[in-house]
Amino acid sequence: MRTRSDDLEILLTVIDSGGFSAAAELLDIQVARVSRAVSKVESQLGISILNRTTRRMELTDEGRQFVDSIRAGLIQIQQAEEEIISRGELPKGRLRVDAASPFMLHQLVPLIQPFHQAYPDIELELTSNEGYVDLLEKKTDLAIRIGPLSDSTLHARPLGKSLLYYVASPDYLAKRGIPSKASDLDFHDTIGFTSPKSLNTWPLKGFTELKPSLWTSSGETIRQLVLAGNGIACLSGFMVNEDIAAGRLIPVLESEKINNTQREQINAVYYKSSSVAKRISAFIDFIQPKLTL
DSSP string, 194-251: SS-GGGGS--BTT------SEEES-HHHHHHHHHTT--BEEEEHHHHHHHHHHTSSEE
Whether the predicted pLDDT of 107 surpasses 90: yes
Specify which of 41-50, 144-153, 197-206 reaches the highest per-range mean pLDDT.
197-206
Q: What's the pLDDT score for residue 42?
A: 79
Whether the predicted pLDDT of 12 surpasses 60: yes
Q: What's the pLDDT score for residue 237?
A: 94
Partners of 190 in the beta sheet? 232
Rounded to the nearest integer, the mean pLDDT of the chain is 82
Regarding whether 149 and 270 lie in a shared domain, the answer is: yes
CA–CA distances in Å: residue 281 to residues 50, 88, 143, 270: 35, 16, 13, 10
CA–CA distances in Å: residue 51 to residues 23, 24, 207, 280: 16, 19, 51, 35
Regarding whether 50 and 104 lie in a shared domain, the answer is: no
CA separation for the pair 285, 277 (Å, rounded): 12
- Assign residue 145 the CATH number of its domain: 3.40.190.10
Regarding whether 199 and 133 lie in a shared domain, the answer is: no
User: What is the arithmetic mean of pLDDT over 3-24?
Assistant: 76
Q: What region, left, alpha or beta, does residue 158 occupy, with left being phi > 0 and alpha being psi -120 to 50 degrees?
A: beta
User: What is the arithmetic mean of pLDDT over 122-129?
Assistant: 88
User: If we measure between CA atoms, which residue out of 241, 266, 282, 276 comes closest to residue 114?
Assistant: 282
Q: What's the pLDDT score for residue 2?
A: 46
AA identity, residue 30: Q
Whether the predicted pLDDT of 133 surpasses 60: no
AA identity, residue 208: T
Q: Look at 212 and 247; give whichever has higher pLDDT.
A: 247
Q: Look at 75 and 7; give whichever has higher pLDDT.
A: 7
CA separation for the pair 199, 190 (Å, rounded): 13
Tens digits of per-residue pLDDT, 23-62? 788 777 888 888 888 888 778 777 777 776 656 677 777 7
Regarding whether 272 and 127 lie in a shared domain, the answer is: yes
- Assign residue 80 the CATH number of its domain: 1.10.10.10
Partners of 51 in the beta sheet? 58
Regarding whether 276 and 148 lie in a shared domain, the answer is: yes
Q: Which residues contact residue 13 at a Cβ distance below 8 angstroms, ignoring those fewer than 6 apart?
A: 23, 26, 27, 34, 139
- The pTM (predicted TM-score) of the whole model is 0.66
Report which secondary-structure segment, H or E, holds 88: none
AA identity, residue 262: Q
Regarding whether 244 and 276 lie in a shared domain, the answer is: no
User: What is the arithmetic mean of pLDDT over 188-209?
Assistant: 85
Tens digits of per-residue pLDDT, 81-103? 656 555 556 778 889 898 988 99
Q: Look at 147 and 99; give whichever has higher pLDDT.
A: 99
Instruction: Say how many CA atoms lie within 13 Å of 17 toward its Cβ.
Output: 19
Regarding whether 168 and 118 lie in a shared domain, the answer is: no
Q: Which residues contact residue 275 at a Cβ distance below 8 angstroms, ignoring those fewer than 6 apart?
A: 74, 75, 78, 79, 82
Q: Percent of the chain, pLDDT > 70?
A: 84
Regarding whether 205 and 79 lie in a shared domain, the answer is: no
Regarding whether 205 and 168 lie in a shared domain, the answer is: yes
| pLDDT tier at 283, thresholds 50, 70, 90 | very high
Q: What's the pLDDT score for residue 228?
A: 95
Q: 156: how many CB neighbours lie within 10 A of its CB?
A: 16
Regarding whether 225 and 183 lie in a shared domain, the answer is: yes
Q: What's the pLDDT score for residue 161?
A: 92
| pLDDT tier at 174, thresholds 50, 70, 90 | very high
AA identity, residue 120: P
Specify which of 46-60, 73-87, 212-226 reaches the highest per-range mean pLDDT.
212-226
Picking from 63, 85, 107, the residue at the C-terminal end of a domain is 85
Picking from 85, 117, 144, the residue at the C-terminal end of a domain is 85
Domain count, the chain: 3
| pLDDT tier at 163, thresholds 50, 70, 90 | very high
Regarding whether 275 and 154 lie in a shared domain, the answer is: yes
Q: What's the pLDDT score for residue 41?
A: 79
Domain that holds residue 186: 164-258
Regarding whether 252 and 203 lie in a shared domain, the answer is: yes
